[in-house]
Amino acid sequence: MAPVSVPVDPTPAGPAARGTAVPHHGRLFVTRLSSLADATGDPAAVGRLLLVAAGLAVAVGAPLLRPSSHTWLVLAVVSVVMAATLVVSARIDWTRLPRQATLVHPAMVALALTVLGLAAPTVFGPLVGVLVLCFAYIGLTQRPGTSVFALLPASGAYLVVYDELTAAVLVRLAIALLIWLLLAELLAHMSARQAALTRALRAAAHSDALTGVANRRDWQARIAAAAPGDALVLCDIDHFKAINDTHGHAVGDQVLADFGELLLGALREGDYCARYGGEEFALLLPHTSIENVTAVLARLHRRWQRIRPDVTFSAGVAVCRAGRTHDETFDAADEALYAAKRGGRDTDRIEPAPGPAAASPVGQRLHA
């Protein structure tokens, strides 16, 4: 059976993890840069910002370098191509493509610098520093190690501005490559770590620490998206207060943890469970017939009896349908649950069928 709640990322977030973290200013720097990607929503949008930033750098720097009329023509052609790339990028649905496809943005910047360098190396040579933006982009948007593949094209763009390969040029290139690589990999690792911590925090905020299932906050968001035909099940451990009073809260907590583990292991793929509060758990079974609900609850009772033969639970079932709110569906399941409690516990009840066919206010008994 597939898990029905989002697992918490195992990345440590305690003092041990903080002890290996980068200094505060470094974390702040990466957080600010990463927030740029979060604000735009995808690496392609950040890539378009890269194209704009590189274009602005060239537009500001080129007039100061006094290019010839021929060089201005080359610059105009390159600018048109980059503008076209920007427009095409905005029209592509990048979500259908792998993340690596967005590397076309820094590749276009490197290509543009190469063409400008070949056309007028002495004029556009100083603009080769724009390549650092490409590696910053790679570090923020790609997996660690990706920047290694950008070193070769970046080296080509760097070398075209020199007439000959002297020792001094090669030393400068080596230093530039080292700086670019370190920048990209540092940003990539720090961004990956931040993303892992963010996932862990989000999972922790929506899962119950004791039982491992979703918590009430997550349940509220999930039930709001429920559709007609979904079955809502409320499970309540019988005589739970007596368990705490007789055996202590540690035993009661273990019972809850065992029940959470039961739900995670016994529910079907696509089913959902959450701890609603105390000893009460809420289940949402999408597009499920009453027969399937009966089978699911029967399986839960059988497995629970093997795990905790001295503890029972009761359940109430209601079906989401058009014309009533989710709160009304929840109330119907809650009433069915109380009917199961009044009927002797260790049993399940379904809400009465709508209309004149309803034979009893306490609903149909599913399990005994």
* DSSP track, 192-221: HHHHHHHHHHHHHHTB-TTTSSB-HHHHHH
How far, in Å, CA of 155 to CA of 135, rounded? 12
Q: In this predicted model, which residue has the larger pLDDT, 75 or 230?
A: 230
pLDDT at residue number 73: 87
Residue 329 above 60 pLDDT? yes
Estimate the crossing angle of helix 326-342 against helix 216-224, to 10 degrees: 120
pLDDT at residue number 6: 35
How far, in Å, CA of 176 to CA of 151, rounded? 10
pLDDT tens-digit profile of 125-166? 788 888 999 999 999 999 999 999 999 989 988 888 887 788
DSSP 267: S
Residue 117 above 90 pLDDT? no
pLDDT at residue number 127: 82
Residue 40 above 60 pLDDT? no
Torsion of CA 285, 289, 294, 299, to 10 degrees: -50
Residue 7 above 80 pLDDT? no
Q: What share of the chain is helix, strand, coil (3-state, %, to 5)?
A: 65, 10, 25
pLDDT at residue number 269: 86
How far, in Å, CA of 337 to CA of 348, rounded? 7
Q: Are 196 and 17 in contact (CB under 8 A)?
A: no
Q: Among 105, 160, 161, which Cα is nearest to 133's? A: 105
Per-position DSSP letters for 46-102, written without gaps between them? HHHHHHHHHHHHHHHHHHHT---HHHHHHHHHHHHHHHHHHHHHHHS-GGGS-GGGG
pLDDT at residue number 200: 81
Alpha carbons within 13 A on the beta-carbon side of 173: 19
Residue 264 above 80 pLDDT? yes
Q: Among 84, 78, 46, 51, which Cα is nearest to 62's? A: 78
85 burial class (0-12, 13-18, 19+ CB within 10 angstroms)? Answer: buried
Mean pLDDT of the region 93-122:
89
pLDDT at residue number 19: 35
pLDDT band, very low/low/confident/very high, at 80 (cuts 50, 70, 90) = very high
Residue 72 above 70 pLDDT? yes
pLDDT at residue number 355: 55
pLDDT at residue number 69: 83
Q: In this predicted model, which residue has the larger pLDDT, 42 or 224?
A: 224
Phi first, then psi, for residue 4 (nearest 5°) are -115, 5
Across the beta sheet with 231-237, the strand order is 272-277, 280-285, 231-237, 313-319, 348-350, 364-367
Residue 14 above 60 pLDDT? no
How far, in Å, CA of 348 to CA of 353, rounded? 15
pLDDT band, very low/low/confident/very high, at 62 (cuts 50, 70, 90) = confident
260 burial class (0-12, 13-18, 19+ CB within 10 angstroms)? Answer: buried
Q: In this predicted model, which residue has the larger pLDDT, 3 or 48?
A: 48
User: Parallel, antiparallel, or unpaired: how do β-strands 348-350 and 313-319 relate?
Assistant: parallel
Least confident span in 118-132, 134-148, 219-233, 242-256? 118-132
pLDDT tens-digit profile of 168-212? 989 999 999 999 999 999 999 998 898 888 888 877 788 888 998
Mean pLDDT of the region 313-323:
94
Mean pLDDT of the region 24-43:
50
pTM over 0.75: no
Q: What is the mean pLDDT of the chain?
A: 83
Per-position DSSP letters for 220-256, written without gaps between them? HHHHHT--TT-EEEEEEETTHHHHHHHH-HHHHHHHH
Q: In this predicted model, which residue has the larger pLDDT, 12 or 231?
A: 231
pLDDT at residue number 70: 83
